[in-house]
Amino acid sequence: MKFGHFDDANREYVIETPRTPYPWINYLGTQGFFSLISNTAGGYSFYKDARLRRITRYRYNNVPIDMGGRYFYINDNGTIWNPGWSPVKTELDAYECRHGMGYTIITGKKNGLKAQVTFFVPQDYDGEVQQVVLTNESGSDKTFKFWSFAEWCLWDAQDDCTNFQRNFSTGRVEIKDSVIYHKTEYRDRRNHYAFYSVNDKIDGYDTDRDTFIGLYNGFHNPQAVLDGKCGNSLADGWSPIASHFKEITLKAGESKTLVFVLGYVEMPVDKKFEADGKTINKEKALAMIEKYNTPEKFAAGMKELRTYWDKLLGILNVNTPEDKVNRMVNIWNQYQCMVTFNLSRSASYFESGIGRGMGFRDSNQDILGFVHQIPDRARERLIDIASTQLEDGGCYHQYQPLTKKGNADIGGDFSDDPLWMILSVSAYIKETGDWSILDAKVPYDNDESKAKSMLDHLTVSFYHIVNNLGPHGLPLAMRADWNDCINLSCFSDTPGESFQTYTNPKFKAEGGYSKVAESVFVAALFTYVGPNFVGILNHLGKADEAKKAQAEIDKMKKVMMDSAWDGNWFMRAYDANGQKMGSKECEEGQIFIEPQGFAIMSDIDKDATKKTLAAIDERLNTKHGLVLNNPAFSKYYVEYGEISTYPGGYKENAGIFTHNNAWIICAEAYAGRGDKAFEYYSKIAPAFNEEISDLHKTEPYVYGQMIAGKDASRFGEGKNSWLTGTAAWNMVAISQYILGVQPDFDGLRVDPSIPHAWDGFTATRQFRGATYRITVKNPDHVCKGVKSMTVDGKAVDGCIIPDLGSGEHQVEVVLG
C-alpha cells in the first residue's frame, strides 16, 4: 500500500494522508541552520549542533507520536484545525504534503478555507522561512482567528530535557512589534538569541506556554485557541514560546499571505545590547526579517533554492530503463547523501540529536556519496575529521560539530576508524584531482602544535592496522570494528554498562582491549582500502614506501586465506578466547555479511569469490534484502556483547542492515554479476519498496539503517531512516559499481555491471571541469565487459576517460 506518490518532475514526494505509518520527514537547510519537518509539521530546528544549540523543542518517543513542531492553528467559528492536521487532528476536507529538495509544502482545507504553508531554509541564512497562504474558497465572506506557535528549547538539548530545577527559572523573552525574541541566558554567557517574526501587524501574542496552552491541556487543544483569543503573556521562567495572534477576514475568493521567520542570531560581545545595556540589539534579526518580508522575496528565495539543487543534481544524472533507479540516483539518493554529510548520525526521528555528534567512521563514509556534489565542503570536512585523529593513528570515535573537538565520553580504539579516512581522502582526490590535500597541515588531537601533513595522517592510519595485529596476523578487533555491536572485550554482565564504552577490567592491563580478539572484517577492509594508499604513494613517486605498503597488503591477503577462510566464506573474527566467530563450526552466527564484500573486491582468491557469493545468496538472501548474519543469535553471548542482545532479525543481530548490503551489491557488480547486483540493489532501494509502505513504514524516498530480517516477526519492517551510511554506500553501489561510472586517480572510469536485459543507459557526469555525455550500449546483452570506448569519436584503450579538463564530450561505451 502507498501513502503518496513520487512527482519526479518537481523532485517531490507527495504524501496524500497525514496518517503515514510513521512520521515521514524532510530536512531543511544544508549549512548552519537545520530543521527537521514531518508531514504534519512536527520537528525542530537547531544551529550547527543538535545537542548544544537546539532552538526549538521536540518530544522524542512521545504519546502521541511526533509532538512538538511549528504549528499554525485556525479557529473558524468554533472549528479548530491545523493545515498539517496535527496536533488538533480535526479531519480535513483535503490534505497534501510535498517534501522537496530543501523545502516542504503542507496544504490543508477545511470548510472552504485553504491554508498552504511552505517551509524552507534559504542558502546562507540562519533561519527557517514559512509562508502561509490562506484562501477563502467558501463562496462567502469568512472571519476566522489564526495563531502561529513555536516552543523554544533552552539551547542545550540534553540539559533542556533533564535539568528542570534550574531551567524552569531561566526562560526570558522580549517582544517588539511583530517579533518575539528568545533571549534565555543572553544576558549572561550566551551571545546568541532566536526570534520568530511575521511580516504583518498582529492582534496579540503569547510567549508563556502555560498561558497559551493551559497547564492541563495539550498541543491538540490550546486554551487560547479554544477561547479564540490570546493572553499577551510575557514568559518569565517556565517554558517560553512564541505565538502570534491575528483575526482575519477574507472575502469570497480572497487570499492572504503571511511570511514568518524563525531565526537565529549571534552577536559580538560588545554589540549585544542597545545603549541601555539591557535591550537586545536587534539589528541582525531585523535585517534577516527584511530579507524575506514579502511574498515576492519569498518566491525569489524558493527559486534560488531550486537553482541550487538543479546545479547540484546536474553533476550526475542518469537515464536507465528503470524509472525507480533514475529517481533514486538523480534525486533522492543524492539528496539523502547531502543530509548524511551534514548531520552524520546526530539528529533524525531515531537519533535524538543528543547522543551522537559526528562519527569518525560515519562521516568518512558519508563523504563517499557526497564528494562529487561540493568537493570543497568535503575537503573541509576531511580536515576537521582528521584533526581529531591521534598521533598513533587511532581516532576519537566522534566529535561535536560545534566545537569540532573529539568526544572524550566515547573515546577511541575502534579498529576500523582509521581505514575509512584513507578511503575518503582517496575518493576526494579521485573526484577532484586535487592532490594538494595531502600537503595540508592537519593537527593531531586538535592540537595545532602537533600538526602534520594529511599524507602523514594517512600513513599513520595505514600503519595503525599493521602495528596492531593479533596472534594470527589479523588486525586486533579492539573495542569494536564497523559492527560496534560485536564487543569482544566487553564481557559485560551488569545492566547499564554501555557496550560502546565499557571494557572489562581484565583487559585494562593489556591497554583496554583484548590482544587476542581479531577482526576479519578489518583485515578485508584493509586489503580493499590499502591499494588506495599504495596508489597515492606511487603517484607521489614514493616507490619504496609504496612497495612496503603493498607487501603488508599481500601479507594480509595470505593471512586471510590461511587463517580466516572457512571453506565457503570468510570468518568474522576470533574472539577474546581465540575461538572462531562466523564459522560453520559455530552453533549460531555461522556466516556474517561484513567481511565478504571487501574480501571479494580485494581479489584474494577467485574460487573463494565464487563460493562466498553463493553462500551469501543461500544463507543471507531474503525477499527484503540480505541479513547481517545467520543463524541469528538466540541467546546472550557474553563474549560477543551487544549483537546478541537484540532479538533475532533486528538491528545487528540478523537484521537486514542496508549499509552492508551495498558492499555485496558492489562485490557482485565487481565480480561481473550485474543481474545479482541489481537484484540486491532493488530489494532495498526505497523507491522499489514504495508499494509496501504499510509494511515498510519508513519514508519510501530515503534509506533506513535497518529492515527487520527473516527471523523477526516483523520481517520487512524498516526503522531508523535517514541518517545511515547506507545512503552513501548505495550511491556508490549504483553509480560506481552497477552503472560503473567511477572516478579514479587517472580519470573517469566507465565499466558498468548491469542487468543483462538492459539495452544500455545514458549518463551525464561533470568531472574535473568537463562534462561527459556517456552512452552505454549493450547489443549482446551481457552484464559486464567493455568491448570498446570512444571519446568524441576517437577510440580509447581500456575504459578510463582521460582527464579532458573542460568542455563537453561525447563518450560511447559498447559492452560485449
Chain contacts with ligand BGC (rule: CB under 6 A): 356, 484-485, 500, 642, 651-652
Q: Which is nearer to ligand BGC, 422 or 485 (CB)?
A: 485
153-182: burial string, b at 16+ Cβ within 10 Å, e else:
bbbbbebbbeeeeebeeebbbbbeebbbbb
Give least dist CB 643 to ligand BGC, A. 8
The smaller minimum CB distance to ligand BGC, of residues 76 and 652, is found at 652
- CA distance readout (Å), 153 to 57, 170, 182, 264: 5, 11, 9, 12
d(CA 386, CA 761): 38
Of residues 40 and 653, the one with the C-beta less far from ligand BGC: 653
CA angle, residues 699, 703, 704, in degrees to nearest 5? 85
482 binds, among ligand BGC, ligand NOJ, none (CB under 5 to 8 A by kind): ligand NOJ
Question: In this complex, which beta carbon is closest to ligand BGC, that of residue 705 or of residue 778?
Answer: 705
- Our CB check for ligand BGC shows the closer of 35 and 500 to be 500
Least distance between ligand NOJ and beta carbon 317 (Å): 29
Closest CB to ligand BGC among residues 162, 501: 501
Of 642 and 690, which has the nearer Cβ to ligand BGC?
642
Min dist CB 49 to ligand NOJ, Å, is 18
Q: Element (H or E) spanning 337, and its range?
A: helix 333-343
Residue 639 binding partner per list ligand NOJ, ligand BGC, none, with a CB distance cut-off of 5 to 8 Å that depends on partner kind = none
- Using alpha carbons, select from 383, 388, 381, 421 the residue that is nearest to residue 406: 388
Set of cell numbers at residue 232:
499577551
The closest alpha carbon to 649, from 711, 582, 719, belongs to 711
147 neighbors 132 (Cβ within 8 angstroms): no
Structural contact between residues 262 and 70, judged by C-beta atoms closer than 8 angstroms: yes
When the beta carbons of 167 and 500 are compared against ligand BGC, the nearer one is 500
CB atoms within 10 A of CB 550: 16
Q: Which is nearer to ligand BGC, 114 or 397 (CB)?
A: 397
Handedness of CA 577, 579, 580, 582 (dihedral sign): negative
At 799 the three-state DSSP class reads coil
The strand pairing partners of 395, in sequence order, are 389
CA distance 706 to 647: 14
Query: Which of ligand BGC, ligand NOJ, none interacts with 359 (beta carbon under 5 to 8 A by kind)?
Result: ligand NOJ
List the beta bridge partners of residue 193.
265
| 722: amino acid identity, one letter | W
Q: For 158, list phi and psi in degrees, rounded to 5.
A: -70, -50
Residue 334 in contact with residue 346, Cβ under 8 Å? Answer: no
361 binds, among ligand NOJ, ligand BGC, none (CB under 5 to 8 A by kind): ligand NOJ
Alpha-carbon distances of 577 from 489, 580, 665, 802, rounded to whole Å: 10, 9, 33, 52
Cα-based distances in Å from 373 to 280, 316, 385, 751: 39, 9, 19, 21
> Is 411 in contact with 480 (CB distance < 8 Å)?
no
Which of the following is catalytic: 484, 566, 711, 751?
A: 484
| Whole-angstrom distance, CA of residue 727 vs CA of residue 646 | 24
424 Ramachandran zone, left/alpha/beta (phi>0; psi -120 to 50): alpha
Residue 500 binding: pick among ligand NOJ, ligand BGC, none (C-beta 5-8 Å cut-off by kind): ligand BGC
Report how far residue 414's alpha carbon sits from residue 512's, in angstroms, rounded to the nearest whole number. 11
CB contact at 8 A, 391 and 751: no
Chain centre distance of CA 67:
22
3-class secondary structure, 47: strand
Alpha helical stretches, state H, 568-716: 594-601, 606-619, 658-670, 674-684, 693-696
Query: By the criterion CB under 6 A, which residues form the site for ligand NOJ?
Result: 345, 359, 361-362, 482-485, 652
Strands (E) in 170-315, as ranges, are 173-176, 179-182, 192-198, 204-208, 240-250, 255-266
- CA-nearest of 24, 19, 44, 21 to 34 is 44
Judge whether 617 counts as a catalytic residue: no
Q: Are strands 127-136 and 255-266 parallel, antiparallel or unpaired?
A: antiparallel
Q: How far is the CB of 708 from ligand BGC (least distance, A)?
A: 14
Give the residue with the Cβ less far from ligand BGC, 500 or 612.
Answer: 500
Out of ligand BGC, ligand NOJ, none, which partner does residue 208 contact, by CB within 5 to 8 A per kind?
A: none
753, 672 Cβ separation under 8 angstroms:
yes
Residue 207 vs 487, nearer CB to ligand BGC: 487
Q: Cell triple for residue 319?
A: 537515464
The least CB distance from residue 483 to ligand BGC, in Å, is 8
Q: Which is nearer to ligand BGC, 344 or 504 (CB)?
A: 344
For residue 416 the three cell numbers come to: 576500523
Min dist. Cβ of residue 485 to ligand NOJ (A): 5
Contact 83, 231 (CB under 8 A): no
Q: Is-contact 224 230, C-beta < 8 A?
A: yes
Q: Which is nearer to ligand NOJ, 362 or 639 (CB)?
A: 362
* CB 54 within 8 Å of CB 44: yes
| Residue length of the chain | 816
- In the complex, the smallest distance separating the C-beta of residue 339 from ligand NOJ, rounded to whole angstroms, is 14
Taking the C-alpha atoms of residue 608 and residue 601, their distance in angstroms, rounded to an integer, is: 11
Task: Please choose which of ligand NOJ, ligand BGC, none residue 362 contacts, taking the beta carbon within 5 to 8 angstroms, the exact cut-off set by kind.
Answer: ligand NOJ
Just list the catalytic residues: 484
